[in-house]
Amino acid sequence: MSSATTPEFVLTRPRNAPLAPPPQYSRLRDEQPITRVTIWEGRLSPWLVTRWEDARAVLGSPAFSSDPTSAGFPAPRENMPPLPPGFFANSDAPVHTTMRRALTREFMVKRIEALRPAITRTTGELLDEMSRAPAPVDFVERFALPLPSLVICDLLGVPYEDHDFFQSHSKTFVDLGTTPEQFTTSWDALNSYLSQLIAAKRSKPGDDVLTGLAEHVDAGTVTERDATDMAVFLLFAGHETTANMIALSTLTLLQHPEQIPHLFAGPAQTAIAVEELLRYLAIVHGGLRRYALEDVRVGEVAIRAGEGVIVPLHVANRDPEVFADPDGLDLGRANARHHVTFGYGVHQCLGQPLARAELQIVLPELFRRLPDLRIAVPLEDIAFKQNTMVYGVEELPVSW
Ligand code: HEM
């Protein structure tokens, strides 16, 4: 495959403006919605699927695998260290089905709804602490990261006091600059930490996910090894995603202050506003990766067994066929919830009720308590995370 005619898919291609997807990919969606791209310096040529409808067709089809161990799988990096099956976003049925089922109860909407009072309390405490500090402060360090970290620790049954340890290791999983050695070091550290915690839940059970996993091990539904890997995955997934979403949503709202009143127009309107922020920001911007297990047709294109596919969610979320004025932010957008920010199909985000609850609580509370919140530096001075699977800001200096 000649790379002269085939565009390269570069994860770190800068976003536009800086929140919109790179314009090159939006153009491809409008002109060549399913096209070959190159990755790994031209050594692999997967398909890039950019339209909303085609994205859902790929992500919803059992013809596509998420297992990165197949040769030719379009992984974000060529020499990606092999992920264990317990990182079950990267496994297929029946392994994936068993693991996901073992956790469904803990992430059910009803159970997450019961966490709302605790999330509200923690939000208030962190905002009180932040507003007592002399401004400016780094909003990421003071609020956007500790809030989801405290919540996921509570849900899993992990002591928050250890947050420096697990937050720094969680970062290595999304940072594409991580060497295989660093990855393995972080993996081993988190693994031994969580395996000890799960073992301790046997003698001292709690009402938490790690206790649930210990029970699954005892019942023989999942192995001890898989339970530990699943716990590592959940701890990491619960941090890097929501923290980036809180920080970027805050930045976005401060750039569109006329839309902030939507957050206060009642729970249904707050929920719509959060869906629009999820659509607009689509933070998992590295593209979901899949591999065709059989010949399959997507739109006008025949994809052959063994070929890879990349689905950039931030590009599909701005498909003008589905969303009117897709590059505009409209916190009252009626169909915003049709976004694919949480993926689609069997791997659709397990933590989405939790992420939604956190955002629906945090954003109105933040702007209610700190109506004069503002960014303390010019936009050009804000460092955006480019070389990571999840988009965000490194720091967000704020005053109020
Ligand atoms: C705004 C925040 C979040 C976003 C944008 C997000 C996005 C995603 C996406 C796009 C996927 C699909 C991956 C694929 O199909 O390959 C996914 C899967 C997953 N997410 Fe999230 N996520 C968020 C928050 C969370 C939280 C708070 C948790 C809690 C632990 C979580 C846990 C998971 C898990 C376990 C999976 C794998 C599901 C499966 O493969 O069956 N996520 N997430």
Going along the chain from its start, the domains and CATH numbers come out as: 23-399 (1.10.630.10)
Burial of residue 110, with CB atoms counted within 10 A of its CB: 0-12 exposed, 13-18 middle, 19 or more buried:
exposed
Task: Name the closest-CA residue to atom 17, ligand 1.
Answer: 349
Q: What is the pLDDT of residue 13?
A: 67
pLDDT beyond 90 at 180: no
Average pLDDT, integer, range 277-299: 96
pLDDT band at 183; cut points 50, 70, 90: confident
Q: Using a 6 Å cutoff on CB, does residue 284 contact ligand 1?
A: yes
- Calculate what percentage of the chain has a pLDDT beyond 90: 76
**pLDDT tens-place string over residues 299-311:** 999 999 999 999 9
**What atom of ligand 1 comes closest to residue 289's alpha carbon?**
16
Long-range own/partner contacts, residues 123-126 (CB < 8 A, 24 or more apart): 123/147, 123/361, 123/362, 123/365, 123/366, 124/365, 124/369, 126/150
Average pLDDT, integer, range 177-197: 88
Task: Name the closest-CA residue to atom 20, ligand 1.
Answer: 349
Please give the distance, rounded to the nearest whole angstrom, from the Cα atom of residue 383 to the centre of ligand 1: 24
pLDDT band at 3; cut points 50, 70, 90: very low
Look-up of token digits 């974000």: 76
Average pLDDT, integer, range 114-142: 97
pLDDT beyond 70 at 200: yes
Q: By the 8 A CB rule, do 144 and 123 touch?
A: no
Q: How far apart are CA 83 and CA 89, in angstroms?
A: 10
Token digits for 270?
Answer: 């707050």
Average pLDDT, integer, range 341-362: 97
Q: Using a 6 Å cutoff on CB, does residue 130 contact ligand 1?
A: no
For ligand 1, pick from 241, 348, 356, 389 the residue to mutate: most ligand atoms within 8 Å of CB: 241
Please give the distance, rounded to the nearest whole angstrom, from the Cα atom of residue 2 to the centre of ligand 1: 35
pLDDT beyond 60 at 2: no
Task: Name the closest-CA residue to atom 3, ligand 1.
Answer: 241
Q: Using a 6 Å cutoff on CB, does residue 149 contact ligand 1?
A: no
**pLDDT tens-place string over residues 80-99:** 777 788 889 999 999 999 99
**Mean pLDDT over each residue of the chain, to the nearest integer:** 92
Q: Single out the residue of 104, 33, 116, 103 nearest to residue 309, CA to CA.
A: 33
Q: What is the pLDDT of residue 81?
A: 75
Q: Which residue has the higher pLDDT, 253 or 79?
A: 253
